[in-house]
Structure 1
């Protein structure tokens, strides 16, 4: 694994490991030990890979398992936008590396290929002491990105796909990572602690799966159905429902036909 030339020029470093429990967990340990980034932690294999909401992330060799440590990005309030910054970077990297294929983003953090899950983004925030009495704590963000490059699991409740499905010209994990490391530097420069989020939001929407269509969103206590209108200036999902606009802070987007007895709440 090597980072791209643009990333190197911006002082981004790389820690490449053969095996780790989770690149996000390793990044957290490094932060607790004083690391502030910018640093990529990449592993050939993960033994306890994690996805969103504590879900297991299967991590066979040949796929990309990477986490980026970043500090000095601005106010903690804007940290959730980093997931969208990373999503746009991932799309740029995949298009650049693969040169073809129908890539997309499923709100809030899934990477898609031909309607199947290709990867995901796991954003975590670590509060660290600063030693400054005026501002005693600061945030360090971890942007975890996993991409099915060589293999995709086949025992999931949803369809998953790997870049290998593109055929002989499919890029390797190393190739995707080199493009991704450069693309993330570029999107972070546009974002600038939230100042450029509007521009990235527009680009994110060009890749949005289900935009303009009827979708379902599984929440903690209900499943909401409506037309996917947009994401707002904070990155929240905006649905047009029979009861009016519904803004969703967090949930799982469900695409495809509605189940016959889904118990949908409108």
Structure 2
């Protein structure tokens, strides 16, 4: 099934299929895919999250990917993760305006403090595939991590959610190109865990650091205050230890 979706900036083509291994892999390997194309699967057999983790495929959840064709004039490509998070939260706000959602660095959307969605970006040359996994219907069991689904706040099929996400992503991608990464970072901060939140970070070397959230760089890197020093972290797993507004997570 193919659906045409008019976003604020471009026309998105959404292809919905029953099953595949990974929508990210399919999109990245399709030489005919162009910016604005979306692939949505009702089920994935080989879905994955960050650092090669398995992404569970549960009935009724959303699994979809889109493509960005990088241009020489674009802001830093690493800041595309901010665009993806903002688009996901905007789409959820349309579907469920009263849902208690929050963006968590680097690529999660929290519902009531528990993980309800994740994002995976993969790049090949000047093509970046942005993949989304959203617990629309069921929260998977993940050891050591609180999870949630949107089933209690909205009843929505993946194919109905796809146009909301595609439209939000198109609009924010255009804003990213016209306004730059700094404006994107500012918008992300307004929708994330607040400054001063205590975070525990497992970086790429598997070192663990705990400190205070001190914002993000324009390229999307995390600023973590540890003692009297503000460190810049470009990759890692983050858990919220304590929020000055909303308590522990």
Q: Report the TM-score when normalising by structure 1.
A: 0.84
CA RMSD of aligned residues (A): 2.0
Cα distance change of structure 1 residues 155 and 201 upon mapping to structure 2, 3 Å threshold:
closer
| Aligned counterpart for 2:146 among listed residues 137, 153, 159 | 159
Alignment-derived partner of residue 97 in structure 2 = 99
Whole-Å Cα distance in 2 between the matches of residues 200 and 48 of structure 1?
A: 32
Q: Secondary structure at the match of 1:99?
A: coil
Alignment-derived partner of residue 196 in structure 1 = 180
Q: Secondary structure at the match of 1:66?
A: strand
**Are residue 174 (structure 1) and residue 167 (structure 2) matched?**
no
Higher helix share: 1
Shift of 1:243: 4.2
**After superposition, where does 1:108-127 map in structure 2 within 5 Å?**
108-127=106-125
Cα distance change of structure 1 residues 77 and 172 upon mapping to structure 2, 3 Å threshold:
same
Higher strand share: 2
Moved over 6 A (4+): none
Q: Please, which runs of 5 or more residues in structure 1 have no aligned partner? A: 128-138, 258-266
Q: Please, which runs of 5 or more residues in structure 2 have no aligned partner? A: 243-249
**Are residue 28 (structure 1) and residue 28 (structure 2) matched?**
yes
Larger deviation: 220-229 or 75-84? 75-84
Shift of 1:76: 8.0
Q: Rg: which structure is higher?
A: 1
Whole-Å Cα distance in 1 between the matches of residues 47 and 73 of structure 2?
A: 28
Query: Is contact 1:3–1:182 with CA below 8 Å preserved after alignment?
Result: no
Q: Report the TM-score when normalising by structure 2.
A: 0.89
Shift of 1:254: 1.5
Shift of 1:72: 4.0
Query: Is contact 2:42–2:158 with CA below 8 Å preserved after alignment?
Result: no
